[in-house]
Amino acid sequence: MTSLLAELRYPAVMGVVNVTPDSFSDGGRFLDSGAAVEHGLLLVEQGADLVDVGGESTRPGSDPVPAGVELIRVIPVIERLVAVGVAVSVDTMKSEVAAAALDAGARMVNDVTALRHDPRMADVVAAHGAALCLMHMKGEPKTMQDDPRYDDVVAEVSGFLEQRVAVAVAAGIDPDSICIDPGIGFGKTLAHNVRLLKELDVICEIGPPVVVGTSRKRFIGSITGREESDRVAGTLATSVMALEKGAAIFRVHDVRDNRDALDVAAAIMRLP
């Protein structure tokens, strides 16, 4: 099977479905699998090219969830979305969850630890011929926002991502199946997040398609003073600017608005 990344139209919109009680912006809304499936279908109708299903929050301060709980949350949702032809990625750092999700038809693993949490993850992704998103995170969700520091955030994040791509390829994962993500908000201050977006072209020059996840995040609230549910306009500014810098995949909650903003920006960018 060809890589999911080769099949996507770009810019690609990845809609977020969190089957969790505690995600920072939609926690508890889709814990029921029927509600989660319905929401995933709505996101596709609104223009999502793939749906990212997660059963463990990684928001700052969050606690880990056992694999058994994550499985119960995500597998029924993935099965039902796949059954109606939706391209699904699974947001997990556990190989057991990734394997079950891929067996259920998911096409991509979105590992926010970039293969560092679970030594078996690379083999699972390689064996299934799945796509893989490698994200940068400094520290762990529980403590990552406790005074994160960098000498040069762009150099550190891009060096890390280059190294993790090399690890993934050495483990037998097809280079054309890999995408990379600077991990906006994962062990980063407002200044770090804004700097990474300003110099996103450096990350894009590494080669693999770049994923950005700015949707409704705290740094947007720090700039605008708005609550999570009221950060769509701020998110759209980041999506359009990231597109201009070369980002390919946009992980968002508000699919309809991001789809429109990206399509209009892309139409302007396509002009000679």
**Using CB atoms, what's the residue nearest to ligand HH2?**
213
Task: Say whether residue 18 binds ligand HH2 (CB under 6 A).
Answer: yes
Task: Say whether residue 238 binds ligand HH2 (CB under 6 A).
Answer: no
Among 3, 58, 177, 193, binds ligand HH2 (CB under 6 A): 58
Task: Say whether residue 250 binds ligand HH2 (CB under 6 A).
Answer: no
58, 141 in Cβ contact below 8 A?
yes
Q: Which residue has the tokens 């070369």?
A: 246
Among 101, 150, 91, 159, residue whose Cα is nearest residue 128: 101
Among 73, 107, 136, 251, binds ligand HH2 (CB under 6 A): 251
Task: Say whether residue 16 binds ligand HH2 (CB under 6 A).
Answer: yes
Give the binding range for ligand HH2 (CB under 6 A) out of 34-42, 55-63, 154-162, 164-172.
55-63
Among 3, 23, 158, 193, binds ligand HH2 (CB under 6 A): 23
73 is annotated as an active-site residue: no
- For residue 249, the cross-strand partners are 12, 211
Q: Which is nearer to ligand HH2, 124 or 137 (CB)?
A: 137
Task: Say whether residue 24 binds ligand HH2 (CB under 6 A).
Answer: yes
Give the binding range for ligand HH2 (CB under 6 A) out of 2-10, 53-61, 122-130, 255-263.
53-61
251 is annotated as an active-site residue: yes
Task: Say whether residue 91 binds ligand HH2 (CB under 6 A).
Answer: yes
Q: Which is nearer to ligand HH2, 4 or 271 (CB)?
A: 4
201, 246 in Cβ contact below 8 A?
yes
3-state secondary structure the chain: CCCHHHHCCCCEEEEEEECCCCCCCCCCCCCCHHHHHHHHHHHHHCCCCEEEEECCCCCCCCCCCCHHHHHHHHHHHHHHHHHCCCCEEEECCCHHHHHHHHHCCCCEEEECCCCCCCCCHHHHHHHHCCEEEEECCCCCCCCCCCCCCCCCHHHHHHHHHHHHHHHHHHCCCCHHHEEEECCCCCCCCHHHHHHHHHCHHHHHCCCCCEEECCCCCHHHHHHHCCCHHHCHHHHHHHHHHHHHHCCCEEEECCHHHHHHHHHHHHHHHHCC
Among 77, 213, 235, 254, binds ligand HH2 (CB under 6 A): 213
Task: Say whether residue 110 binds ligand HH2 (CB under 6 A).
Answer: yes
Task: Say whether residue 20 binds ligand HH2 (CB under 6 A).
Answer: yes
Task: Say whether residue 193 binds ligand HH2 (CB under 6 A).
Answer: no
Task: Say whether residue 59 binds ligand HH2 (CB under 6 A).
Answer: yes
Residue ranges that bind ligand HH2, judged by CB under 6 A: 16, 18, 20, 23-25, 54, 57-59, 91, 110, 112, 133, 135, 181, 183-184, 211, 213, 251
Active site residues: 217, 251
